[in-house]
Amino acid sequence: MSFNALLLAGESQTLEFKTSFDKATVESLVAFANAKGGTVLVGVKDNGDIHGVTLGKETLNEWLGQIKSTTSPALIPDIEIEVIKEKTVIAIRIGEFPVKPVNTRGRFFKRVASSNHQLGVPEIADMYMQSLQLSWDAYVAPNTPIDALAMPKIKRFIAQINNSGRFALDDETPLAALEKLKYIVNGQPTWAAMLLFAKEPLRHHVHIGRFKTPSMILDDRQFTDTLFEVVEQSMQFIVSHISVAFEFDGSVQRKERFAYPLPALREALLNAVVHRSYTNPNDIQIKIFDDSIAIYSPGDFYGDISIADLQTDNYKSSLRNKLIAEAFYLTNNIEKYGSGFIRIRKALRDYPEVSLEIKEIGAGVELTFKRLAIDANEPQQTNEVEKSSVKSSVEIIELIARNPDVTAKELAQTVGVTLRAIEKKIAKLKREGWLIRVGPNKGGHWQVQKVDK
């Protein structure tokens, strides 16, 4: 691209303007080298106006020496001189460096949009692993014996793999099977094995809560378990705190429609657990509000993928945790690598009232499912109502039909909700004509009226 074209383009992912050469110039070159390469134009103001620079006989050699001596691995850029309107402008070009990350004076930068982003320790580790096509979870967990793994979890994992049909393992020698899959190396468990099968799970939490407002928490849990288990625990909590509508089609059988598509929520949860940065100390955070569910995963997007890429059906993903991803793939929890967002969009097609927002927050990614419209007739959820909302009215009717003398307290215990929630549900069924009370509250019994419906 010509100098004039560069000036017209303005600062971008691959272009930076500097009025003079200084340490900030070197930082920009490092940021470009850690991204997709780029050009620094020295002698140009931020708005694109020509400022010009004065060159001595050895100026460019001195600049080149400073760049080489203050970067590691040493960068050797291309330098070009251009005279525009009788003013000298210098173009310093650097390509994407093959082995990352590059640093200057111990500081690491990456070009993001039109600015230089200083990398934190987890991002530095991710970039190094990706550059060498390594995976952190494939490394051996130091000073960890093989008996730190729970054999029942390993056997269950192997059984799931064999049932999936994607791989065949000998279930008589579970440790040898794990070694075959690289979860055990030289008789020691890898980080992936510890995250998946440890007797004492590593402290990577899923912190999940039901909120009425950002400051009013109705229910709050912290799950700390191995990864397959924590996915199921978290999903159960989510399902228990979202509303569900029941449709009757002429029989006692019901049709359930949750406020959000469960496959999309599960896919988002799996994405957070499988692809999070486990070198980042933060927790996965899930916040459930009346009209939205937000799932935050520590670790920014891995590789060169962007939010815009995720909106397409042909994006190419990179795996931060290769062995963890393979474990969930072999057990049929995920279909194939890099297709999670495609499946989320597919699940959302039947929910036009639910939108999905993807954004990067700090050193993490947040997915927010937002209900665009709330039915005015839908009961506003409280903690007790939520716990009973996923219990079918039919379930109560069937219990009463089998035992007309059952008490509200017994119903609450059987269904697994509070007495208050059962009383509200019964009152609603009475108003709708499903139930009537025969005789007094004490000594009387229930009668189901509309079983045919």
DSSP 181-213: TTSEETTEEBHHHHHHHBSS--S--EEEEEEEE
Residue 75: the pLDDT is: 94
Full-model pTM: 0.64
Which 3 state secondary structure label does DSSP give 295?
strand
Dihedral sign of CA atoms 275, 278, 279, 281 in order: positive
The band of 91, judged by pLDDT with boundaries at 50, 70 and 90, is very high
Go through 245-282 and write b for each residue having 16 or more CB atoms within 10 A of its CB, e for each that does not: eeeeeeeeeeeeebbbbbebbbbbbbbbbbbbbbbbeb
> What pLDDT, on a 0 to 100 scale, did the predictor assign at position 373?
60
Selected from 3.40.30.10, 3.30.1490.20, 3.20.20.10, 3.30.950.30, the CATH number assigned to the domain covering 3-119 reads: 3.30.950.30
Give the torsion sign (CA, 4, 10, 13, 18).
Answer: positive
Closest by Cα among 184, 172, 20 to 89 = 20
Picking from 55-64, 123-132, 218-227, 358-367, which range would have the lowest pLDDT averaged per residue? 123-132
Predicted confidence (pLDDT) per residue in 381-392, tens digit = 444 444 444 345
pLDDT digits (tens, 9 = 90+) for 231-265: 999 999 999 999 887 665 555 566 778 999 999 99
Tokens representing 336 are 């194939």
pLDDT tens-digit map of 379-430: 444 444 444 443 457 778 878 877 888 888 778 777 777 777 788 888 888 8
Asked whether residue 215 carries a pLDDT value surpassing 90, the answer given is no
Class of residue 305 by CB neighbours under 10 A (exposed 0-12, middle 13-18, buried 19+): middle
Fold topology of 391-448: Arc Repressor Mutant, subunit A (1.10.10)
For residue 402, the model assigns a pLDDT of 77
- Reported as a single tens digit per residue, the pLDDT across 155-205 is 999 999 999 888 888 888 999 999 999 999 999 999 999 999 999 998 889
The whole-number average pLDDT for the span 8-35 is 93
pLDDT of residue 54: 93
**What's the CATH fold of domain 120-382?**
Heat Shock Protein 90 (3.30.565)
pLDDT at 26 over 90: yes
Q: What is the DSSP string of 333-372?
A: SSSSTT-HHHHHHHHHTT-TTEEEEEEEETTEEEEEEEES
Parse the chain into domains and list their residue ranges. 3-119, 120-382, 391-448
Per-residue pLDDT averaged across 356-385, rounded? 71
The two most distant CA atoms of the chain are separated, in Å, by 108
What pLDDT was estimated at residue 247? 62
State the residue for tokens 């509508």.
245
Short-list 19, 59, 73, CA closest to 41: 19
* Beta-strand pair 435-438/445-448: antiparallel
**If we measure between CA atoms, which residue out of 157, 177, 145 comes closest to residue 227?**
157
Mean pLDDT across the chain: 86
Q: Does residue 223 contact residue 230 with C-beta atoms inside 8 Å?
A: yes
Instruction: Cite the beta strand spans of 95-189 per DSSP E.
Output: 103-104, 107-112, 115-118, 184-185, 188-189
Q: How far apart are CA 277 and CA 347, in angstroms?
A: 26
